[in-house]
Every structure is written in C-alpha cells, then in structure tokens.
Amino acid sequence: MIYTKEEIKQLDRITRLKIINSVSGIKPANLIGSANNNGKTNLAIFSSVVHLGSDPALLGFICRPRTSEVGHTYTNIQENGQYTINHIHPEFIKNAHYTSGKFDEDISEFKRCNLSEEYMKDFKAPFVKESSFKMGMRFKEAIDIKLNGTILVIGEIDHLILPDASLVDNDIDLEATNSVGISGLNSYYSLNKIEKYPYVKVNEVPEF
C-alpha cells in the first residue's frame, strides 16, 4: 500500500489524523496536570512527550493549535510555570483517554474522569495519584512551530517519582513500570522489553 502526498490530503480528516498520528510508531502515553493561579486544575492526555537532554534534564511536548475551546494546559503553564507529566497504567487507560474531551475551563478533568489530584510541598501543579511514575516540571521555554501553528513546550524535571522495582542496574525498566504506549488517536499498547545491549563503542561492534 503506497500513499502519495496528494492521496494523503484527499483522505477524510479523521482517517488522515489516525494514519499520520500512527506512522511514528508507539509513543509514550502521558497525562499532563496543571492548574491556573486561581487553583482550577486541568488534566489532558498527550502522546508527544519527548526527551530533549539529560543535563539539564529537559522534556518537551507539543501543544496543538489553540482555539477558545482548548489550550488550558498551555495557558496554565504560562500562568504558574509548573506542570506534571504522569505515566498512564492499564488500570486507568479509559479514564485517561476521556481527558481528551474539550471540557469547559471550569470543569476539571480530574473530577470528571474520576482521577485523583495529588500535591507535593512547594509545588503548585497537581500530580495524578493513580500514576506510579510521574514528574514535576518547571517551564523553561516555548517555541512556536510556524509550519502548523503548534508549540513545543520545554520544561526541566524538578521532581522524579518512580517505582523502586523499575530501577535496575542504574537503568529504568519500562516494562516494570507497567506504563502504556499510544498510537493514533485511541489505540493503547503494553510495553514489553525485548532485549538489552551495551553502550556502543565502535571497536566493540560485532560482525553481522
């Protein structure tokens, strides 16, 4: 099956969204928690969280083009400079999925989707209590992507919370975290470790 650029453009909107959102493979499924300066909380599912650097520890995610109905996550982050990134686990995939709805600003997805707010001392953004792998983030930079009007939001990890059993030989075993992945708009996958190899040194590359 081969699609040209023109044929992709001719697909109906939903089909195009599902296909193009899947071509990069399985992506991390995360809930981003935030709050405005009046204490109103917001929770939204994202599949675009990406590692940007280890020192400082930076993560980025993409905000879609904003309208008057959406964009509460970005607005909240701009207000108080803090947010959380929470892994999604099988026990609450359904709850997490429905946070993607375009709820009014005065409706908290935490309450509407039956997920619990959790706070750490001196950190204003809400964590997802049901998640065992989560990060408290401090906003650092926003980069406008002119090609499609999206925004790359960059933050630094301020708090890292993860299961004790997931740290093996100074490495995180994602299978042990029981985190899930996402593809397209609504398909979720479990993560299974297949193999582990050493850090590559050129003089140690085997013959294939």
Please write the tens of the pLDDT for every residue from 54-70: 999 999 999 976 654 44
**DSSP 8-state class, residue 114:** T
pLDDT at 170: 85
Give the chain's domains with CATH numbers: 25-188 (2.30.110.10)
Closest by alpha carbon to 135, among 164, 117, 157? 157
**Helix or strand (DSSP H, E) at 79:** helix 72-80
CB atoms within 10 A of CB 190: 11
Span 179-206, average pLDDT: 93
Predicted pLDDT of residue 65: 62
Tens digits of per-residue pLDDT, 85-132?
Answer: 999 999 999 999 999 998 988 899 999 999 999 999 999 999 999 999
Inter-residue contact 40 to 108 (CB < 8 Å): yes
Percent of the chain with pLDDT over 70: 97
- Please identify which residue in the block is written with the tokens 């899930």: 180
**What pLDDT does 68 receive?**
45
pLDDT band at 18 (very low <50, low <70, confident <90, very high): confident
pLDDT > 70? residue 187: yes
pLDDT in tens, 41-55: 999 999 999 999 999
Q: How many residues does the chain have?
A: 208
Between 205 and 170, the more confident residue is 205
Q: Is the dihedral of CA 67, 69, 70, 73 positive or negative?
A: positive
pLDDT of residue 185: 83
**Interatomic CA distance for residues 178 and 144, integer angstroms:** 33
CA distance 31 to 143: 21
Q: Give, in degrees to the nearest 5, the angle at Cα 194 between 59 and 130.
A: 50
Predicted TM-score of the model (pTM): 0.93
pLDDT tier at 169 (50, 70, 90 boundaries)? Answer: confident
Q: State the chain's mean pLDDT as an integer.
A: 93
pLDDT at 17: 87
